[in-house]
Amino acid sequence: GKKVLQAAAKSVKRTHLELGGKAPVIVFDDADLGAVVNGLRAFGYYNAGQDCTAACRIYAGKKIYDKLVADLSSAVSTIKYNQPDDTENEIGPLIS
Residues annotated as catalytic are 18, 52
DSSP helix/strand/coil, 6: helix
CA torsion, ordered 6, 8, 9, 14, to nearest 10 deg:
-130
Interacting residues of 20 by C-beta distance below 8 A, sequence separation 6+: 52
